[in-house]
Amino acid sequence: MSAHTLQLDDALQQYLAEHALREPADCRRLRERTARLEKGGQISSPEQIQLLALIARLYGARQVLEVGTFTGYMPLWLAPLLPAARFVCVDRDRHATAIAREAWQAAGLHDRIDLRIAEAGPALERLVDGVAAIFDLIYLDADKEGQIEYYESCMHLVRPGGLIAVDNVLWKGRVADPAYDDATTRAVRAFNDHIHGDDRVDVSLIPIGDGLSLIRRRT
């Protein structure tokens, strides 16, 4: 057994928030507004998005795709840091994406974000048919049962050397708990097995937020 990853109690989590997190004010307001929604817990953690922002800047990302946009938290954070980047965002929830549009409009970002209201699978199929492997960064945060299908489409869309980041890969810790055998937990386990065995990519599963897999398409 290798050395364990440090466990975060409330005090250490608070320390990290105070000493490492630099959440922009408009993103914090959007996160707090989202938390009041019935499904507000679906929003990505600020720690995850701050990490993606750092990676995107290191990449010099110019083409970004998000599958599962919800209230638009990720583009609101990343777009101001990537002034040359264009974003394509996909989500089926008209109510949540109306909140996203409002936040992007207020931040002056709406003309750089192509929002597509659609189911993830068909939307990705249309993108595969219409564009080459152009995306530097893809953030996949859609329904888990379709995740392998969506990932395979993303492999056609991400450029060689580009990054696919996938949220919720630890699924509240349930992936390692045999007491959970529901369809969603099984789907997340199957996805993690699929990625672990995929020799087309380099991968690192990071225990941040609800688990984040960083998947680089090999050149």
User: Is the per-residue pLDDT at 95 higher than 80?
Assistant: yes
User: Per the domain annotation, does 2 fall within a domain?
Assistant: no
User: Per the domain annotation, does 179 fall within a domain?
Assistant: yes
User: Per the domain annotation, does 3 fall within a domain?
Assistant: no
Q: Show the DSSP H helices in the chain as ranges.
A: 10-19, 25-35, 46-59, 73-78, 94-106, 120-130, 147-157, 183-196
pLDDT tens per residue across span 6-57 = 888 999 989 998 999 999 999 999 999 999 999 999 999 999 999 999 999 9
pLDDT tens per residue across span 146-169 = 999 999 999 999 999 999 999 999
User: Is the per-residue pLDDT at 98 higher than 60?
Assistant: yes
The whole-number pLDDT of residue 2 equals 61
User: Per the domain annotation, does 1 fall within a domain?
Assistant: no
For residue 77, the enclosing domain spans 10-217
User: Per the domain annotation, does 116 fall within a domain?
Assistant: yes
According to DSSP, residue 199 is labeled: T
User: Per the domain annotation, does 37 fall within a domain?
Assistant: yes
User: Is the per-residue pLDDT at 1 higher than 80?
Assistant: no
Predicted TM-score of the model (pTM)? 0.96
- Number of domains the chain is built from: 1
